[in-house]
Amino acid sequence: MRDHFRMFAAYNGWANNLLYQAAAALTPEELRTDKGAFFGPLLNTLNHIMVADRVWLHRLTGEGMLPTALDQVLYTDFEALRDARIAEDARLAAYVEGLTEEALDESFTFSPIGKTDRITQKRGVTLSHVFNHQTHHRGQCHATLTALGKPSLTLDLIYFLRSEGKAWL
């Protein structure tokens, strides 16, 4: 399973790079235009993905910033958000790289944001969620970009595997 998550970490960085390249072509007004995605404007959805990654990595490692709300806007400046995304993708990939098969099967316990409940789950299951969550919200970003009249993106895993990810085939 470790190699599976290493592949997803590499794919994740690749897909985020393509998404941020497309977003960089937008005007500041377009980045802040609400086209009906769950978190509103593209800038907010990109921030949500960052928030979720930081929450999960904090839960998994005990390190890094712990946002206080899922709709928290960490960055209003796109370039600062882009730089943070690159760093967070590298952090996530390094975390996965450092895991053993045994660690993926280990459980950890955390509290949801703003709650005192305690939840215990396995690291591997959690990483599946983290990567799936990003894919879900990248889809919303894609919909926002096309609603703004921008070209469609090809972000499917298979396209990564046929290009930069050939080593995983």
Q: How far is CA 135 from CA 6, 29, 65, 115, in A?
A: 16, 25, 22, 26
4 in a labelled binding site: no
Helix segments in 62-122, DSSP class H: 78-97, 101-105
Task: Give the whole-angstrom CA distance, residue 162 versus residue 127.
Answer: 23
Q: Binding site: residue ranges?
A: 48, 133, 137
Residues marked as binding for a divalent metal cation?
A: 48, 133, 137
